[in-house]
Amino acid sequence: MKQIDCRGLSCPHPVLLTKKALEESGNEPLKILLDSTNALQNVKRFASSQNHQMDLTEKDGVFELIIKPGRENETRSDKTGSYVVLITSEVLGGGDENLGTILIKSFLNTLWQNNNLPTKILFLNSGVKLACEGSNVLDTLNLLKEAGVSIVSCGTCLAYYELTDKLNIGYTGNMYEIVESLLEATKVIKI
């Protein structure tokens, strides 16, 4: 069984190394070593999105994730008609900041009331602040999440703004996952 040591690696390297190793391993199981819960969650989400089975053990702060490849033709559901919303700022528009705060809240409320919900909302840059403690849109984001919309915040952005421990809704994603989501969507709405 091939082993990949991802300890000490920053996002998105553990996911990229796992993806490459899985492509090279065929149907052979793969052992991934990780020392970060964020990296572990990112790798698990990636493996799950590919229909791979996983076994996890933890010892002395090191996670050992065994990934057993699934079948290629079972990896993805049909994404026809799916769209994602990319939010890169905590305000909407480039004018007055107070107005921008009102507009982003209005946008998310209107989006929730729409019959055609996105598959994901991706938060980058200062947009991650909207998914953190103290945000005035948490109730609406929670309604969207309960309706099946994935709420993903960039881990690097959360760390930059020192908000990693303040994420209140959704989960921390990495750039690989964000780029894959953008590429797979039939439409991207950037706010």
Q: Is the pLDDT of residue 188 over 90?
A: yes
Which H, E and C letters describe 88-157, residue by residue? CCCCCCCCCHHHHHHHHHHHHHHHHHCCCCCCEEEECHHHHHHHECCCCCHHHHHHHHHCCCEEEEEHHH
**CA dist., res. 53 & res. 33, Å (int):** 16
Domain ranges of the chain: 2-74, 83-190
Residue in 11, 132, 154, 157 annotated catalytic: 11
6 catalytic per annotation: no
Min mean pLDDT across 28-32, 68-72, 78-82 is at 78-82
Asked whether the beta carbons of 107 and 114 are under 8 A apart, the reply is no
Min mean pLDDT across 11-15, 50-54, 91-95, 130-134 is at 11-15
Q: Is the pLDDT of residue 9 over 60?
A: yes
The order of strands in the sheet holding 120-123 is 171-173, 150-154, 120-123, 83-87, 187-190
Q: Which has more pLDDT, 75 or 46?
A: 46
Q: Per-residue pLDDT tens for 136-171?
A: 999 999 999 998 899 999 999 999 999 999 999 999
Q: Is the pLDDT of residue 62 over 80?
A: yes
178-184 — which CB contacts under 8 Å span 24+ positions?
178/122, 178/124, 178/152, 178/154, 181/84, 181/119, 181/120, 181/122, 181/152, 182/84, 182/86, 182/122, 184/76, 184/79, 184/82
Please tell me the CATH superfamily of domain 2-74, with its number. TusA-like domain (3.30.110.40)
Contact residues for 76 (Cβ-Cβ < 8 A; gap 6+): 49, 50, 184
Q: Per-residue pLDDT tens for 78-128?
A: 434 589 999 999 999 988 999 999 999 999 988 988 878 999 999 999 999
Average pLDDT over every residue of 12-27: 86
Please tell me the CATH superfamily of domain 83-190, with its number. DsrEFH-like (3.40.1260.10)
